[in-house]
Chain A
């Protein structure tokens, strides 16, 4: 028998799952071993709701990393071999499930140039969140190898860390050094934890179901059209819609995950800090998908020499790999390359320090919109057509903006207002006001009655 659908945070399945989990959690939290068993069972149910064998994949990879961690400590003379085994195991899983089809398709293209027949393209189901779970698992072994953390001997603790359900399928990517000690010494969530969790949960829900999901149909329709719209203005607006769609979709998931983590009693790593307020791309990457960019910084960029020995090489390799991490498509690789080029230019010229800050912000946003147009394109060819229009001032006109439709522009305006309202209010840390529960309740109710058609979270596919 096949299994069901992914248990989305914005689904009835999750509502029931969450209600049962948090009703039982206070009782299990007190049990020194029972809390890990409860977390693992709940997380496997959450993960395995889509396909029963997903948890087996996690167990398989996890056992390799758990054993490698212990072996690195016990056999210092062979630590490198154990690290390689762990990395190869993780990358092999990622390679088979995520990149095999892509690799064979490209190989077939190359064989076609020489007149040779193609190989059958493997049709493998991509397990949700595999990129996130693999990176979480790999960071554990690498940190043990580097001596940053001691390996845990407790398999239950290890799997409670690896399978923890809130960040399991779309991050934020957790580090063992931050999460393992918290799991070991779990205490009841403080009042601050509970309040912050509620705020994150409500805001994340609103971002996802109201903002991101209402933008989704406009973007999908524009990219699905057989012929791209002829006006460059139209594509700038579509790129802006997508910029907010992907931001609110992904940061909404992260907010919900952090909120759930808070209710468990854990502080999960932040993932976004108002990325569209950045001036320059270095700053952007310090604010966007922080858990991934810091992962690549610590485990790829710095080992390759970082900014000291081979800055150019390290930068390009890191961003090309980061692009490929997002998906098995040349558009993602090109997107990574585009950001590497933008960062390279920034490093050479140091332009964000030299230009008037508002102008720097505009330049950053313009380049970001172009990069999002590439990220969302179905092919490099489609991006070529879209970019040709976006970069040709002769195709910029007011009619192109209005062609997107009043509703789309209204949603775009709401997104801008919401983003700035959050910044000005400093919503995460401010003291509770008497009327705040009504506002939080309003956000939750609105998330139900103004929900859009977006459906699954975009980052599930990565």
Chain B
């Protein structure tokens, strides 16, 4: 066999075997890792067209469904996003003049840690060709999703069940909302511990809230409506975060910004709302915004 034939037949074999593995790939839920294009679509959403833009971290994009809000809305939440001037300014660019900016505050989004390890900045810093390539190739990731060990074991046992469509654990909506179908939990001690440790090292206090209100009142003065809210978390996570919601509300309202009091909701990990709770919270927010 000569070199060219060897390479071509090897690549052909890779395509056949890879194709078979793609067909038999598990039909379970998607995750962020296999949808890199989703975040780029969100980042590249058109400017000056939305009536409402929601900003915040993963709690925001899992907690507010823009499809249920009045007018044209975009959930501009990103994992680990810091509520810093650069991020908020990018979000405001998406709003039409006089639109509503909904700010979902979480203690982590105000920390120095979030500002330093800013995933939003890292995404935005990628050059246009890189972003375009990733966005364009995004569907290929869904077809080349890796198998887990248990899925390999099931496949080796000839489990045709892998082919059966399963309910996705997460659904990525076009408006920027990620709905989780995971069951709710009453408490999440591990999440609470992680938050407690993180906020011990990076505390959030008056200074951080002042920075945020200073930033947001600028947009208020610029003719935008600014609504601040804090999405529900489990009681143990709330306690671990040591940020008093009543005090926070006082600070926000005291500067002329609007505060939206979220109704209670269930989380699937102590920190992020289940899809059902997210829709309930969004419904209430929609009524508040329509007032």
CB distance from A428 to the nearest CB of B (A): 14
Is B13 a contact of A440 with CB atoms below 8 Å? yes
Q: How large is the interface on A (under 10, 10 to 19, 20 to 34, 35 or more residues)?
A: 35 or more
With a cutoff of 8 Å between Cβ atoms, the chain A residues found around residue B14 in the complex are 440-442, 444-445
- Mask, A369-389, CB within 8 Å of B = 1, is 000000000000000000000
From B10, B127, B137, B152, A202 is in contact (CB under 8 Å) with: B10
- In angstroms, Cα B12 to Cα A299, docked, is 46
CB distance from B213 to the nearest CB of A (A): 29
Chain A residue nearest in CB terms to B2: A191
Chain B residue nearest in CB terms to A448: B144
Is A226 a contact of B144 with CB atoms below 8 Å? no
Is B126 a contact of A4 with CB atoms below 8 Å? yes
> Given A12-B137, A13-B133, A198 and B17 touching (CB < 8 A)?
no
B140 contacts the other chain (CB 8 A): yes
Chain B residue nearest in CB terms to A192: B3
Is B10 a contact of A193 with CB atoms below 8 Å? no
Is B6 a contact of A448 with CB atoms below 8 Å? no
CB distance from A2 to the nearest CB of B (A): 4
Is A444 a contact of B127 with CB atoms below 8 Å? no
Is A442 a contact of B7 with CB atoms below 8 Å? no
With a cutoff of 8 Å between Cβ atoms, the chain B residues found around residue A3 in the complex are 125-127, 130
From A407, A432, A436, A441, B149 is in contact (CB under 8 Å) with: A407
Chain B residue nearest in CB terms to A3: B127
CB distance from A431 to the nearest CB of B (A): 10
CB distance from A7 to the nearest CB of B (A): 9
From B11, B144, B146, B147, A441 is in contact (CB under 8 Å) with: B11
Is B146 a contact of A450 with CB atoms below 8 Å? yes
> Given A2-B126, A13-B130, A444-B18, A437 and B146 touching (CB < 8 A)?
no
B246 contacts the other chain (CB 8 A): no
Chain A residue nearest in CB terms to B155: A449
With a cutoff of 8 Å between Cβ atoms, the chain A residues found around residue B147 in the complex are 449-450
CB distance from A436 to the nearest CB of B (A): 8
From A1, A12, A226, A448, B127 is in contact (CB under 8 Å) with: A1
> Given A12-B137, A444-B14, A449-B144, A198 and B127 touching (CB < 8 A)?
no
B21 contacts the other chain (CB 8 A): yes
- Mask, B2-26, CB within 8 Å of A = 1, is 1110110111111111100110010
Is B130 a contact of A4 with CB atoms below 8 Å? yes
Is A437 a contact of B9 with CB atoms below 8 Å? yes
B32 contacts the other chain (CB 8 A): no
CB distance from A131 to the nearest CB of B (A): 24
Chain A residue nearest in CB terms to B11: A441
10 contacting pairs across A/B (C-beta < 8 A):
A1-B127, A4-B131, A13-B130, A193-B3, A226-B197, A437-B12, A441-B16, A442-B13, A442-B17, A449-B146
Q: A4-B127, A198-B6, A441-B11 known; 7 other A-B pairs, CB under 8 Å?
A: A2-B126, A12-B140, A192-B3, A407-B149, A445-B14, A448-B21, A448-B144
Closest 7 CB pairs of A and B: A441-B13, A194-B3, A4-B130, A191-B3, A437-B9, A2-B125, A441-B14
